[in-house]
Structure 1
């Protein structure tokens, strides 16, 4: 009997010791907090930020639409042409929103000629615009859809009955776009904007001419973020 007790002690004690060590290791491993990056030598990945200054260049298309009325005659003149320019701005990021301020200068070659009643040939033209606008964006990682609102100055020229009248017009500009960060520094975007150009009645050689005009632009831009 005593011999059996001694055999039990010799066989159970080492087994119990091994079991206790295994249980201790299991509990210790279960108690470790799950913290991504804590045990990764490279550490957690930094979060992308839209905040900062940027400059860019853009190219695309511009559309000029003018409605000319004189007496009982009326005609809409439309012309689409290539457009290009430069822009610069600054973004501030607040949690899930991005607020920005941007200025741009663009050149285009919109010109259209048509016949309007007794006026004969009438020509409309615009060649440049410059503006400043605010942007509100909703970033989704490296994508950011946005809306914009600002003020733009543009030139506008109307020619009728051999007379040419040119004005520089300031008006509201509305827009929307989608921007994508190709890298932390290089951003690609598509930007759409619309603005008013003219809404006046003028006298051409004794004939009153009512003119309403506006322009639209769809531009692809590439910018560098500092």
Structure 2
């Protein structure tokens, strides 16, 4: 009889232990779940962008025209303000960035005056140029070192002749050529970047007047540009 009682007590104790454990498992945990990890967005140069720039340009070539008394005469070199806007697209794969950019610039870098003999006749130095270029670079996170080159066009001077019979003659024509350069760009934010860039531009110009007739002469209008700019990249 005593043995039966001990067995019943042991069974009741085991049942109570199992029931208590099951109820404890159903209670909410006092520990918070592990926080979910959210990675910070990685900076990328990929995307369309627009921007503006300003800087200084200087004429490195010599504009010439034909004088019947003195032959071909060279005019002086000038320089001045350059400023405008640009737009383009970059694509980044790994450390490398490929892109294309076009820009249009006001440029007071030409010599639109003329020389007749030993006399120089100053002219307006206002002009413009634009480029359509490829860009290739290497990115170090937010810093981009790049080279650029392509087609250039514009009218920055070198097309004026002075003739004692006809006076000033201005050939308002857009000339084509090429450009080459490079620079550094840095991503200030995920959407805004700042750059410093240098370009060498070579445009072909032709045509002068002297003695009442036009003399066609191919000339290289060459100038350098150093400019700083800001770009806004669309997500």
- In angstroms, what is the RMSD of aligned CA positions? 2.7
> How far apart are the structure 2 equivalents of 1:65 and 1:148?
20
- The equivalent residue for 2:19 is none
Distance 1:95 1:144, change over 3 A: same
> How far apart are the structure 2 equivalents of 1:115 and 1:149?
31
Distance 1:65 1:209, change over 3 A: farther
Contact kept, 8 Å, 2:87 with 2:103, in 1: the verdict is: yes
More strand by share: 1
**How many residues are aligned here?**
188
Contact kept, 8 Å, 1:66 with 1:76, in 2: the verdict is: no
Contact kept, 8 Å, 1:83 with 1:109, in 2: the verdict is: yes
Given candidates 161, 185, 188, the residue that maps to 1:182 is 188
1:164 to partner: Cα distance: 2.0
- The equivalent residue for 1:23 is none
- The equivalent residue for 2:135 is 135
1:60 to partner: Cα distance: 0.8
> How far apart are the structure 2 equivalents of 1:209 and 1:62?
27
1:194 to partner: Cα distance: 1.4
- The equivalent residue for 1:51 is 46
Unaligned 5+ runs, structure 2:
1-33
Distance 1:115 1:51, change over 3 A: closer
> How far apart are the structure 2 equivalents of 1:80 and 1:221?
19
Which piece of structure 1 moves more, 81-90 or 160-169? 160-169
Contact kept, 8 Å, 1:86 with 1:104, in 2: the verdict is: yes
Which piece of structure 1 moves more, 205-214 or 190-199? 205-214
Distance 1:178 1:74, change over 3 A: same
Larger radius of gyration: 2
TM (norm. structure 2) is 0.69
Unaligned 5+ runs, structure 1:
1-38
Deviations 1:25-48 (A, max 9, x none): xxxxxxxxxxxxxx8854444322
> How far apart are the structure 2 equivalents of 1:195 and 1:144?
22
> How far apart are the structure 2 equivalents of 1:213 and 1:122?
18
Distance 1:132 1:212, change over 3 A: closer
Contact kept, 8 Å, 1:169 with 1:198, in 2: the verdict is: yes
> How far apart are the structure 2 equivalents of 1:40 and 1:160?
80
> How far apart are the structure 2 equivalents of 1:102 and 1:40?
44
